[in-house]
Amino acid sequence: MSVFTPVPEPALAEWLQDYAIGRLVALKGISAGVQNSNFFVTTTLGRYVLTLFEGMTRAELPYYLHLMAHLSRHGLPVPGPIANRHNEYLGTLQERPAALVMRLSGASEMNPGPGHCAKVGAMLAGLHLAGLSYGRRQDNPRGPAWRSETARAVHDFLPADERRLLDAEIAFQATVDLARLPAGAIHADLFRDNVLWETGDDDEAHIGGVIDFYFAGFDTLLFDVAVTVNDWCSTPDGRLDPARSAALLAAYHAERPFTADEADAWPAMLRAAALRFWLSRAADFHLPRSGELVLVKNPDEYRDILRLRITNVPPLPR
Amino acid sequence: MSVFTPVPEPALAEWLQDYAIGRLVALKGISAGVQNSNFFVTTTLGRYVLTLFEGMTRAELPYYLHLMAHLSRHGLPVPGPIANRHNEYLGTLQERPAALVMRLSGASEMNPGPGHCAKVGAMLAGLHLAGLSYGRRQDNPRGPAWRSETARAVHDFLPADERRLLDAEIAFQATVDLARLPAGAIHADLFRDNVLWETGDDDEAHIGGVIDFYFAGFDTLLFDVAVTVNDWCSTPDGRLDPARSAALLAAYHAERPFTADEADAWPAMLRAAALRFWLSRAADFHLPRSGELVLVKNPDEYRDILRLRITNVPPLPR
């Protein structure tokens, strides 16, 4: 969440001398996000977002920053990181790894309709296609290995019926053949709060920004589609809304057609994506890391989504 | 000017398959610009400007495109070129070198006040500072050598008083010691129509885009300041407006302080910048290149500006 590490204005003003974006005009903490300390920074030349990375290693950050740069320069509305005068994206501020990115315009839409979902589907396909030419590789930090490990860690905290659900799902996922599915750089967290919408010339909302790539990694593209559908297309009780999910999937399919293997794997991927968020929320709930003021989200939402995806999933478009 | 080379929609739709920006939605010619064919391109994923380069060689284009990419990734509102799936900025369309860049928002302000001029001055300094770390070098195509050559070419078309002015100015400029002035990548054409303004949260206009880098090159930074001041700070009769030029220069100076050598050279640079546009307009007027539908601008405007800068120039801020 929000701001863990305070940044005094004089420290930032001095740090900005390493950049060519002018002098500091205003600094404001952002009360959103669950991982890092984020700030809006206004200078004499523009508007930026400053992130101080909390609990991430300096070694893993170039993957994210260069991915954002790659997607941005391939024409997608992803905040490009700002290079300093030494041509580097990653600096150090208040003893934390720190980076500036462009501030994109727009606001989140928390009640999307099928029109929004279609644009999100097309954009996700665009991210996947542009990501295919990204040269770096770092595995999805919340991929299959993490899921098995986290399942073991939370297992004993769960009531009996949830343990049975978890054991069965981990066993089921182990049977899924992922090797035949197209893979690449995925966002892995394309929830409603990570898409910024602006109103265009034609009065139709369009996507002005896709943000927060700090869960990105190499994984099957269909897993990313499943993460996105589970958030954008679920009703409050966790069921898939047919109009929204059909719109999202058709628009994705129009940009990057699904393969036959992906159609087969679709129900399993929706379950894997639900499992991933059930597990991370259960871990945050039962195993909070000391000293962190993380906003704990209710794990039950994704437990229910997992249960519902086991019983009934409409097919992918072909 | 405008569109020299028509682009049929089917040809563009096919060409866009090399990019990851979705499918073509709309294509519209732009009736501005004096050199290339420009189009607004809307796809399922975003909005872009397509340029077909007319009469520029493929060899000189990477300097411009990489400069725009460099400035953009250093946080300045410059349209970044879009890389295709082969990670290249420059393609071929309708047998012309062609590139897509991001479409930035905002509109030109043709009646700027001191507030606008201050923001332009700060932005120009930011461009210069960010340009210092740009690795490529290509001389200003309208630099001292071009000026001497073009003066010879137009000389005999001019009336006697203009010949005397031109001869004297060329002789004077040859005495100016440029070696002591800071140099780097300059825009060299930062006229009012190449800055896009948007209205911000605070209801104050800010610069949303600096466009058209296709006259950029390596030259003295102060020459670029002079080009900018001659356009942004001149009254309709060519005199310098004291409030606007003071605002522009003070804001530039706050970001990149002028050196003592620059203060000495300032009157000469204003004259060099006026000479450059007088010469190019005189050449377009007297020596039109065959088959081109270039909008010919009146050379007299910059002849008068040159005359006025010889007699009276306020000093640079120190």
CB contact under 8 A, B75 and A19: yes
pLDDT beyond 60 at A3? no
Structure tokens at A45: 């030349």
Cβ–Cβ < 8 Å for B157, B76: no
Place of tokens 């800010």: B206
Condensed to tens digits (0 to 9), the pLDDT of residues A127-143 reads 999 999 999 999 999 99
**DSSP H helical ranges for chain A:** 9-15, 61-73, 114-131, 144-155, 160-174, 221-232, 242-255, 260-286, 300-311
Structure tokens at A148: 């098995």
pLDDT digit string (tens) for chain B, length 318 residues: 445 789 999 999 999 999 999 999 999 999 766 679 999 999 999 999 999 999 888 999 999 999 999 999 999 999 999 999 999 999 999 999 999 999 998 999 999 999 999 999 999 999 999 999 999 999 999 999 999 999 999 999 999 999 999 999 999 999 999 999 999 999 999 999 999 998 755 557 899 999 999 999 999 999 999 999 999 999 999 999 999 999 999 999 999 999 999 999 999 999 999 999 999 999 999 987 755 555 678 999 999 999 999 998 889 998
Q: Bin A276: left if φ > 0, else alpha if -120 < ψ < 50, else beta.
A: alpha
What is the ipTM, given to two decimal places? 0.88
**Closest partner residue to B20 among A21, A23, A75, by Cβ?**
A75
3-state secondary structure B291-318: CCCCCCCCCHHHHHHHHHHHHCCCCCCC
B86–chain A nearest CA distance, Å: 7
Domains for chain A: give ranges and CATH numbers.
9-102 (3.30.200.20), 114-311 (3.90.1200.10)
Binding-site residues on chain A for chain B (CB distance < 8 A): 19-23, 44-46, 48, 69, 72-77, 80-83, 85-87, 100, 102, 122-123, 126, 129-130, 132-133, 206-207, 251, 254-255
DSSP 3-state of A266: helix
pLDDT at B254: 96
**Closest partner residue to A22 among B81, B102, B255, by Cβ?**
B255
